[in-house]
Amino acid sequence: MFEPPTLKDIANALGLSTSTVSRALRDTYEISAKTKKLVFDYAEKINYQPNPNALSLKERRSKSIGVIVSEVANHYFSQAISGIESIAYDRGYHVIITQTHESFAREKINTQHLASRSVDGLLVSLSAETADTEHLKYLHDRGMPIVFFDRVPNDIDTHKITANNEKGAFDATEHLINLGRKRIAHLTSSDHLSISIERLTGYTAALDKHNIPVNPDYIKHCPHGGMFPEETERAILELINLKDKPDAIFIAGDRLSIGALEVLKKLNISVPGQMTVAGFSNSDVLNLFEYPISSVRQPAFEMGKTATEMLLQLIESKYPVTEFDNKVIDTELFVR
Amino acid sequence: MFEPPTLKDIANALGLSTSTVSRALRDTYEISAKTKKLVFDYAEKINYQPNPNALSLKERRSKSIGVIVSEVANHYFSQAISGIESIAYDRGYHVIITQTHESFAREKINTQHLASRSVDGLLVSLSAETADTEHLKYLHDRGMPIVFFDRVPNDIDTHKITANNEKGAFDATEHLINLGRKRIAHLTSSDHLSISIERLTGYTAALDKHNIPVNPDYIKHCPHGGMFPEETERAILELINLKDKPDAIFIAGDRLSIGALEVLKKLNISVPGQMTVAGFSNSDVLNLFEYPISSVRQPAFEMGKTATEMLLQLIESKYPVTEFDNKVIDTELFVR
DNA sequence: ATAATTTGTGCAATCGTTCCCGATTGCCCT
DNA sequence: AGGGCAATCGGGAACGATTGCACAAATTAT
């Protein structure tokens, strides 16, 4: 098996003690230049790498951060993860990624798993099912640095970074209104998710501004965020079976947006002829779609980067941090 | 800061020694039932979790595997990672994901990083730039379990899992031929990548079978696998500027396929009117595209799962493994 | 009643590293 | 010449968990 060289190996080979070798490699002042060179060269030669587990044990930190997202195979999250990685790597941290598949149970297990794995901090985007955040609060109360991004809880006080969901939703809805649409439906994810609430707020705000009454029948929730196509299909069917059928729909999620387009195509409902569509999505191929869909794009990469910077700041802070940021980044509307 | 309870904490609280506590928790026969219950209950109460770093140090393994892919934000890889995760998780392993962005330099750094991080094994898909695999051979020779998937080297003897690229390419090309196309171009990635070679072979085999001469001008390489749009655009432009302009194109990669469609759309070349397109892609939204593209889909999730199973078998094997599998999984052709 | 065995527990070493103490040298200064 | 003091280095205790061995107490056998 693979047995990397240790300090002791170097010490034995050079007739020194491990402490001297350790100090030489760390370039301490109390070691002579000649010994340092000796040790350096030998370490180089046998390609010595300090054992990270021993270091973690001693330093009580693992130089790794845990990430909890619903799905890696999701445009938003995969881009966010790229952002997370780009920062973490530069700062010498490893990234351990876990997926919840929108399940509360898996979120709890993953949280537990990562904590026991002694990550130095957590980057979390809540699952669609999560209504109770006790598992995270527990860790946070005990001093585990946590930064939430995208889907954030409101009962845990720590750094948070979100897209400007309300404004994004407002812009998209107003865009539909400006196109002359009056009966604008709203398809969204589970109702306790922060992003759902904010996007709903933006949607109603736009309607209000233009004096369009909010019709509760036009608002459809998919508790699993479109994980199950049937969920999306049922919602769309309910909408088009209304006697006052909507002529536009604003969709509050990537998977939902794609799913809705599939359903519309299947039902032979022309877009934008019979139904104009606008929705949140980070897909990079919307330009190639047969049915044009105006999209609200979140700065995923940027958000991942910023969240990681915030987390590392928490981790590496000498004093307990009590002032927390709540950063909001603007979305971008792509009209199609 | 976050200080999880240790064995010593339990021992002190209960007036026992750490060894007794350790043995009680591991349910050894030599500890009395009543002591066990005492320890169990208390450990439960304070939510004790063994320190994984201490364990890793002692057991000389980290219960984690490293993954090296070009990009997480890629349909194929994000699906493969889901497969990797699903198996690793069940077996108690953590997954550390790194990205090369198709750069050889980053691949070397990541490999080094993961090795020094003492992962128990590696799951690798080579970057487009990688022609030299010395960095991986070095580790492999020293006993590091490695399984390659998708893009595999031919000079390292270990488990490998690939899609049946040759057959997939053959099927796609023949499909274009069966549609009556005669001048079929081929757009592919860097020429030393295993997948490029195999797909090229399948392409030429299909042409051969139908007695269509292979025209070297029709074969375009993008050394960075379409990471840079200009690369793709230049290739397409070169193709359509040929005096004997191709009427179809078979594309050997996800990013390239999408990129090519974008270029064709930009150039106002109708698909399939002026150009019929077939290509490898794991995107799940091809059905929604304006331009129909027949696609070869790789069983990404399946491949991730199998690769992980193979790797865990290597890791957990008592004896050094010398017989290596070379698993090939069939692709699926979606005609559009 | 004494020896032999079982039962339950603790001591200490180990994994690789760092770091607090000392220990040893050489050299300067009085 | 001898005390003081840098300059260098080594010893050994952590960090948290496991485990072979030792050892006491309790039980059984002789």
Q: Tell me the pLDDT band of B312, cut-offs 50, 70 and 90.
A: very high
Q: What are phi and psi of A46, to 5 degrees?
A: -90, 10
Percent of chain B past pLDDT 70, that is, above it, reads 99
Check pLDDT > 90 for residue A142: no
A185-199: average pLDDT: 95
Computed over every residue of chain A, the mean pLDDT equals 93
Q: In which residue are the tokens 């990541």 written?
A: B110
Residue of B nearest to A2 (CA): B143
Any chain A CB within 8 A of the CB of B270? no
Picking from A64, A92, A76, the residue whose alpha carbon sits closest to that of residue B94 is A64
Residue A33 CA and nucleotide C1 C1' are separated, in Å, by 74
Any chain B CB within 8 A of the CB of A1? yes
A158-173: average pLDDT: 98
Percent of chain A past pLDDT 70, that is, above it, reads 99
Q: Tell me the pLDDT band of A1, cut-offs 50, 70 and 90.
A: low
pLDDT, tens only, B96-133: 888 999 999 999 988 988 887 778 999 999 999 999 99
Q: Tell me the pLDDT band of A2, cut-offs 50, 70 and 90.
A: low
For residue A66, the tally of other CB atoms under 10 A from its CB is: 27
- Contacts (Cβ under 8 Å, ≥6 apart) of B8: B18
pLDDT, tens only, A204-213: 999 999 999 9
Chain B partners of A113 at a C-beta cutoff of 8 Å? 94
pLDDT, tens only, B211-267: 999 999 999 999 988 889 999 999 999 999 999 999 999 999 999 999 999 999 999
Check pLDDT > 80 for residue A171: yes
For residue B174, the tally of other CB atoms under 10 A from its CB is: 21
pLDDT, tens only, A27-46: 888 888 888 999 999 999 99
Percent of chain B past pLDDT 90, that is, above it, reads 74
Q: What are phi and psi of B126, to 5 degrees?
A: -65, 150
A224-238: average pLDDT: 93
pLDDT, tens only, A88-133: 988 888 888 889 999 999 999 889 888 877 789 999 999 999 999 9
pLDDT, tens only, A236-249: 999 999 999 999 99
Helix, strand, coil fractions of chain B, as percent rounded to 5: 45, 15, 40
A71-83: average pLDDT: 92
What is the pLDDT, as a whole number, of residue A250? Answer: 98
- Contacts (Cβ under 8 Å, ≥6 apart) of B26: none
Amino acid sitting at position B82: S
Choose the closest CB to A99 out of B82, B144, B289: B82
pLDDT, tens only, B151-204: 999 999 999 999 999 999 999 999 999 999 999 999 999 998 999 999 999 999
d(CA A36, CA A23): 9
d(CA A71, CA B258): 22
What is the pLDDT, as a whole number, of residue B1? Answer: 59
Alpha helices in chain B (DSSP H): 7-14, 18-25, 33-45, 52-59, 75-90, 104-116, 134-141, 165-178, 194-209, 229-240, 254-266, 300-316
Q: What is the DSSP letter of A103?
A: -
**What's the pTM?**
0.88
Computed over every residue of chain B, the mean pLDDT equals 93
d(CA B236, CA B64): 43
Cβ-contact A293, A261 below 8 angstroms: yes
Amino acid sitting at position B270: S
CA distances (Å), origin B91, targets A53, A199, B88, B311, B313? 21, 39, 5, 12, 11
Rg (CA), chain B: 26
Residue of B nearest to A64 (CA): B96
Taking the CA of residue B26 and the nearest CA in chain A, the distance in Å comes to 17
Chain B partners of A57 at a C-beta cutoff of 8 Å? 51, 53-54, 57
Chain A partners of B2 at a C-beta cutoff of 8 Å? 139, 142-144
